[in-house]
Structure 1
Amino acid sequence: MRVHAYAAPSPSEPLAPVTIERRDVGPDDVLIEIRDAGICHCRRSSPGTQGRSMS
């Protein structure tokens, strides 16, 4: 399965969007379902909030 992700090409470069190939979950893997990232889109995109703490 191909998925979108972010990766740093090197230790001195910032994160950049990439596409990676995911393998199936194996018997020694742990599958975690992320249901909520804790970021509300309405607060993240409110006018005048860039650069300020949202907590």
Structure 2
Amino acid sequence: MNTYEVEIQETLTRLVTVEASSPDEAIRKVSANYKAGEIVLDSENYIDTNINLYVPE
């Protein structure tokens, strides 16, 4: 019997509205809030699952 590594990848997504003076600033603000745990994605943000055989490069 062989063994295989199978990857399960779930995709979560959420749109966040933020006031900023530029697109770069908006990304920085949202990124900082996400890293600080102020924005948390959960099962309500689920959109897709992919299951694939893992093949190292």
- Report the TM-score when normalising by structure 1: 0.24
Q: Higher relative CO (CA 8 A, sep ≥ 6), structure 1 or 2? A: 2
Give the TM-score, by structure 2 length. Answer: 0.23
Higher strand share: 2
